[in-house]
């Protein structure tokens, strides 16, 4: 079993789509730990604010199998199979970390982890002592460094009850 972290986000009816996605992912992938929801503006385009969270779970599925589950759930929530990254969306699910695996072809770890506050904040909330597989920096320390240089995120409370 490996520790897996998935980023979840939506800026079109986010409460509805995130709740359904979290419920479905719990059924498909097993027990989930969920960060709080964080509100942030879209990066790189105009649109409604996003709600983002990170889910954590243990799995023996390969990354490709997890990605297939994520794509299926995104599709069920109305996300087109392929599309522009800089558009509003009903649901965005990204495999962020798969244990300590580093694999460029699988995009692991996902670059978003250290790039965007709406990914790093909820990830650091769930696993502050976890070390990034490439940099070796603890996620909590990476977040404390980032928060000094970016606008504050608004914490909206629990994503799931």
Q: Which residues are catalytic?
A: 79, 89, 92, 94
User: Is residue 91 within 8 Å of 73, Cβ to Cβ?
Assistant: yes
User: Is residue 53 within 8 Å of 94, Cβ to Cβ?
Assistant: no
Q: Which helix (H) or strand (E) holds 68?
A: helix 63-76
CA distance 95 to 67: 7
CA distance 21 to 80: 15
CB atoms within 10 A of CB 44: 8
């Amino acid at each position: 079993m490996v520790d897996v972290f998935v980023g979840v986000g939506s800026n079109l009816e986010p409460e509805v789509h995130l709740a359904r996605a979290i419920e479905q992912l719990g059924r498909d992938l097993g027990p989930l730990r969920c960060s709080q929801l964080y509100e942030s503006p879209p990066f790189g385009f105009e649109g409604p604010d996003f709600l983002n969270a990170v889910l954590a779970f243990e799995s023996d599925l390969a990354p490709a199998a997890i990605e297939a589950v994520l794509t299926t759930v995104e599709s069920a929530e109305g996300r087109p199979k392929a599309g522009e990254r800089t558009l509003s969306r009903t649901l965005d699910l990204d495999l962020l970390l798969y244990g300590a695996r580093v694999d460029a072809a699988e995009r692991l770890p996902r670059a978003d982890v250290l790039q965007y506050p709406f990914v790093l904040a909820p990830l650091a909330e769930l696993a502050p002592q976890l070390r990034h597989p490439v940099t070796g920096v603890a996620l909590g320390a990476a977040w404390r460094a980032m928060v000094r240089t970016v606008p504050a995120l608004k914490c909206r409370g629990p994503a799931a009850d």
